[in-house]
Structure 1
Amino acid sequence: MQLVAYASEEPPFFRSDEMGSAVHAASLERPVKLMIALEMIGYYDSAPGSQDYPYPAMSWLYPDRGDFIAVVGRMQDINAVRQVKATLLSSRYLSVYSMNAPGFIPGIDFSDHLNYWQHDIPAVMITDTAFYRNKQYHLPGDTADRLNYQKMAQVVDGVINLLYNSK
């Protein structure tokens, strides 16, 4: 098991060979069972209409309130997404939704897990959906006082539980 923190995830490095996760994924010499990307896990908003989606029709399947965590993966990673989702749901404190989708869905590959997919390594992203929820994302109002540290800790506890119980 490796815990890896990446530098250079944001532009101008995003989607480049200099992106920290691209360097790490390319350097791996042993098989990887699963990469889990924690991408924006701290912003929650229970107001109606606070959650947006890349396609309006997605609001028929997913909540209109930004008070959940999402587990996202490729179609071929469906079992990993299900396992991560089930473990996070076992905490009983988190509302968890999931999606397995092709890479052309906007946002599906907007983090470090993308670089593992490019090396055919199973990977999932755990996310609060970033700019689809947080209207101050990457703006001056994107401040630490707007984050829900209790929910972030619950997500991390869920990931620790997943790792502890993995074979």
Structure 2
Amino acid sequence: MADEPGPRRGGGALGHQAGGGPGLHDVIRRIFKRLSRIHITAISVVVILILSWTGCFTVKMPGDSFDGSLPDANSEQASVAKNLKTHIEKLAGEIGARNVSHHYALEKAAIYLEQELQKLGWLVQQQAFETDGKTVRNLEVELRGTKRPDEMVIIGAHYDTAGISPGANDNTSGTAGLLELARLFAGSKPGRTLRFVFFVNEEPPYFRTEQMGSRVYARACKNRGENIVAMISLETIGYYSEAENSQKYPPPLSLIYPSTGDFIGFVGNPASSKLVKRCINIFRKVESFPSEGIAAPGSIPGIGWSDHWSFWQEGYCSASVGMTV
């Protein structure tokens, strides 16, 4: 016998009523379903509060997220957008999928990045290593700090793609953004030493392995005793959507954050909460664009899904900046 009797044409007490409306059984079932949702929501809220109080979660961010119609781009922003488009069309449109399985394209992308940086006057350093019998390389440029040169800030992005994907968003968008930052900072004199690093091997099968490009890089930094005070990873910054459910989260984060992918996100672990707060606070002061932030354990899906994870492994303070994946 079934656990629940089906609808009866005559409209029995536990079935649907003659007019097609809900019967007693349906009403009871809906009540219990709603109560269950209420209980789950309440439990989730309590969990978030407890984790926040114990320092495991930081969801309260300084400043206010922008709320309103996005302003038109000014001339400088339009110029940046044009440059970003050029880089994305070259890397994703022309070169396409690039990883160890598509090694020729991966090397072609590295050469393109190197040439673009050299055009801007940068001296490009490389960190080459072997992966499955093939040579791959991280690329690095540096501005020596004028006041605290031994304190280093790293901004990075991975330039490889997953499988056969050309990776327009993941992560050509981040790579193009890093190239633009290198252009804007070329010739400047920062107080701390500033590095821009293009990582290889972020995507599977090397993700979170010893062959992950940022893992190799961060480990070398640690072995040299470098004092990295902050690392920012640019990850999938090219996708924007106002459609409902275009942004999803593991429970219970869906109770806190928007279901639309129309914001920039700042993500770190508890040890990097100060960095996350500082970055989003500055962003909210100068940019008219929605933003959200969180500092949470890296074991939560999505929190450590980029190159900032590699720097956590060496005890460095690091965070990711990105949009909808």
Q: CA deviation at 1:78?
A: 1.1
In the other structure, the counterpart of 1:100 is: 295
Q: CA deviation at 1:21?
A: 0.2
CA distance in 2: counterparts of 1:12 and 1:59, whole angstroms: 29
| Residue correspondence of structure 1 range 34-73 to structure 2 within 5 A | 34-55=230-251, 57-73=252-268
Q: CA deviation at 1:45?
A: 0.2
Structure 1 residue 16 and structure 2 residue 209: aligned?
yes
Counterpart of 2:236 in structure 1: which amino acid? M
By relative contact order (CA 8 Å, sep 6+), the higher-ranking structure is 1
Q: What's the TM-score once normalised by structure 2's chain length?
A: 0.39
In the other structure, the counterpart of 1:164 is: none
Q: What's the TM-score once normalised by structure 1's chain length?
A: 0.74
The structure with the largest strand share of the pair is 2
The answer on whether the counterparts of 2:231 and 2:311 sit within 8 Å (CA) in structure 1 is yes
Q: Deviations over 1:17-75 (max 9, x none)?
A: 111101110111211010000011110101222221122x3222111111001101111
In the other structure, the counterpart of 1:3 is: 196
Moved over 6 A (4+): none
Q: Secondary structure at the match of 1:5?
A: strand
Counterpart of 2:286 in structure 1: which amino acid? S
Counterpart of 1:114 in structure 2: which amino acid? W
The answer on whether the counterparts of 2:240 and 2:324 sit within 8 Å (CA) in structure 1 is no
Q: State the identity as a percent.
A: 37
In the other structure, the counterpart of 1:111 is: 306
Q: Deviations over 1:84-125 (max 9, x none)?
A: 101221233221100110111101111111110000000000
* Structure 1, gaps ≥5 residues long: 131-167
| Residue correspondence of structure 1 range 128-143 to structure 2 within 5 A | 128-130=323-325
The alignment covers a number of residue pairs equal to 129
CA distance in 2: counterparts of 1:79 and 1:44, whole angstroms: 27
CA distance in 2: counterparts of 1:33 and 1:13, whole angstroms: 26
Counterpart of 2:208 in structure 1: which amino acid? R
The answer on whether the counterparts of 2:267 and 2:320 sit within 8 Å (CA) in structure 1 is yes
Counterpart of 2:296 in structure 1: which amino acid? A
* Structure 2, gaps ≥5 residues long: 1-193
Counterpart of 2:232 in structure 1: which amino acid? I
Indicate the RMSD between aligned Cα atoms, in angstroms.
1.1
In the other structure, the counterpart of 1:86 is: 281
